[in-house]
């Protein structure tokens, strides 16, 4: 039986990569990121996402800009920086290596 805490920790480890991938495709605001992650089967709460976005910004992997919203207050849109894109590219390569290794292990 899977321990929910272990599953949560595993998903949190992948969250950074998933968020960077999403904001590399186009600028998104927080709620959009949460929605896209849910659609991909990686549900996340605001209390997890926003601290991650703050850390990514401090690490200069993402930047943000305020944009007017037709439905309410301005929204903070996040986008990947050149440094963030380099980091994402390197992490995707690492993920592919890990995925390949795990596939080999699970097939034997």
For residue range 61-78, list pLDDT tens digits in order. 999 999 998 888 999 999
Instruction: Round to the nearest angstrom and report the end-to-end CA distance of the chain.
Output: 22
Q: How far is CA 64 from the centre of its chain?
A: 15
- Answer whether 19's CB lies under 8 Å from 83's CB: no
What is the pTM (predicted TM-score) of this model? Answer: 0.86
What's the gap between Cα 100 and its chain centre? 21
CA 93 to CA 50: how far, in whole Å? 26
Work out the pLDDT band at 48, boundaries 50, 70, 90.
very high
- The confidence band for 4, taking pLDDT boundaries of 50, 70 and 90, is low
- In whole angstroms, what is the distance from residue 92 CA to residue 70 CA? 35
Could you give the domains of the chain? 4-107 (1.10.10.10)
């Amino acid at each position: 039986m899977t321990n929910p805490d272990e599953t949560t920790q595993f998903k949190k480890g992948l969250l950074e990569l998933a968020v960077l991938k999403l904001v590399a495709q186009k600028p998104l605001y927080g709620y959009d990121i949460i929605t896209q992650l849910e659609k991909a089967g990686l549900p996340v709460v605001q209390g997890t996402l926003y601290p991650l976005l703050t850390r990514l910004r401090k690490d200069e992997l993402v930047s943000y800009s305020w944009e007017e919203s037709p439905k309410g207050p301005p929204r903070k849109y996040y986008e990947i920086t050149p440094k963030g894109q380099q980091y994402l590219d390197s992490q995707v390569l690492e993920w592919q290596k890990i995925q390949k290794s795990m596939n080999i292990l699970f097939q034997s």
